[in-house]
A and B are shown apart, each in its own frame.
Chain A
Amino acid sequence: MTLKVRIIPCLDVKDGRVVKGVQFEGLRDAGDPVEQAQFYDGEGADEICFLDISASHEGRGTLLDVVRRTAEVCFTPLTVGGGVRTTDDFRALLLAGADKVAINTSAVKDPSLVTAAARRFGAQCVVVAIDAKQVGPEQWEIFTHGGRNPTGIDAVAFARDVVARGAGELLVTSMDKDGTKSGYDLALTRAIADSVSVPVIASGGVGNLDDLVAGVTQGHANAVLAASIFHFRTHTLAEARAALAAAGAKVRQPIQGNLR
């Protein structure tokens, strides 16, 4: 009877297709986003995350249409990000069916957007996505534009700052680990999770179920995000739940009691 660890399949979307790369490069097709979302909805995903990974640098808008079509068929909370620059972008995504909106590049460029969005829509729907690379012992730097641009900003200090400005959740991605299947950057995840009062989602690097478990037990994350192990059907969400439960984490059982 407590809050459960969330397991979140993440759909990186480019030009209307789900893609998966290694350290943000070398993209491989992983299917239709709406079909994938529907599959995860049926599997009892705790949330689904859509990230338009090309939006920032190509200056494109976000995937309103994908979000809209997904919201038609899925009754799972949706977090959507990519190319969000203004509170009107937030509003358009929320109206299309997103529950939370993730901002990354824009939050670095203009941290006041975090406050403006939290005031207008509530902190609970403002997710700040932090893409960080290790630059020294226990030291990580923020990168923007899908990992292309270094900023010189310390990731942990930035995390504290955006939470003070109104972020309701942080999505922490290790760029060193992304797509490597070698596990989350647990030190990064833990450094941020232990520094802020809001929930943290661990992201980047999951290769097996033990990595998900470590994200919670060692990374202190409140939610674990993964892409390829789910997209390519290496593991089911039920297997992920079972692994977390075996390690003592509280997870949701999608159907309980006599619910029809």
Chain B
Amino acid sequence: MLTLIDYGSGNLRSAEKALVAAGAREVCVTADPDRIAKADQIVLPGVGAFADCATNLAAVDGLREALETRVRGEGTAFLGICVGMQLLADVGIEFGSTPGLGWIGGQTSVIQPGSAELKVPHMGWNTAEPTKNAVFDAAWGGAQDVYFVHSFAFRAAYDDDVAAWCTYGADRFAAAVVKDNIMGVQFHPEKSQRAGLALLEEWLKQ
């Protein structure tokens, strides 16, 4: 069963609706470590500040451990969305520094488009340009405009972990990261109309 992690930091309803529209038969919305231990696919949403999301994740007894076991130990497919993607980093640099899950090397830092006309938050539709990844290839077959809303970006330690890039003025950051069974997307597939649903559909199918 697909498990959507409810740790008080996500836009759960939107994510749940989109996953169902993309073909998920049943979505279990939970933070229960016992349910996560049996999940077939795991989605971690996240909205807001890195530190708040990390704190909320840590506050649920046994959640972090259950995720480590099920995702990293047993190879269950995992998708992090927005701050849920950023939490994959080693550390979040956002009003101080906060440790992340450390599943994909890197850190987050503020977006610097390099011009006063280019506003932050990076808010709206921008192009995600996939590198080489089966899920993106099958879903899009090229670049697509998707919906972003964030002020901080994932700076991957290794370019090989970046599955799609996004350019905003002078800044270029990961629109998506992938490592083995773990994927993270900075944009909101649940709010990106057909492009977002197509991506979720392929991720669910893999």
Contacts and interface: CB of A to CB of B under 8 A. Distances in A.
Interface residues of B, number: 49
B204 interface: no
- Which secondary structure characterizes the binding site on chain B? mixed
Contacts of A44: 193
Contact of A2 (B11, B49, B126, B143): B126
Contacts of A200: 119
A197 B47 contact: no
A257 B136 CA distance: 13
A20 interface: no
Given A122-B49, A199-B121, A256-B145, 10 more contacts: A1-B129, A3-B124, A68-B13, A100-B149, A124-B48, A198-B120, A223-B124, A257-B142, A259-B140, A260-B198
B167 A1 contact: yes
Contacts of A41: 193
A211 interface: no
Interface of A: 1-6, 41, 44, 46-47, 68, 71-72, 75-77, 94-97, 99-100, 119-125, 168-169, 196-200, 220, 222-223, 252-260
A258 B130 CA distance: 14
Interface of B: 11-14, 17-18, 21, 47-49, 52, 116-127, 129, 139-145, 147-151, 167-169, 188, 190-198
Contact of A259 (B125, B126, B144): B144
Given A99-B11, A254-B194, A259-B141, A123 B121 contact: yes
A169 B142 contact: no
B139 to A, nearest CB: 8
Contact of A256 (B17, B142, B167): B142
Given A122-B47, A198-B119, A258 B141 contact: yes
Contacts of B144: 256-257, 259
A95 B143 CA distance: 31
A215 to B, nearest CB: 15
19 contacts: A1-B127, A3-B168, A41-B193, A46-B125, A47-B124, A72-B17, A75-B196, A94-B47, A119-B49, A120-B48, A122-B47, A123-B151, A197-B119, A198-B121, A220-B117, A252-B125, A254-B193, A256-B142, A257-B142
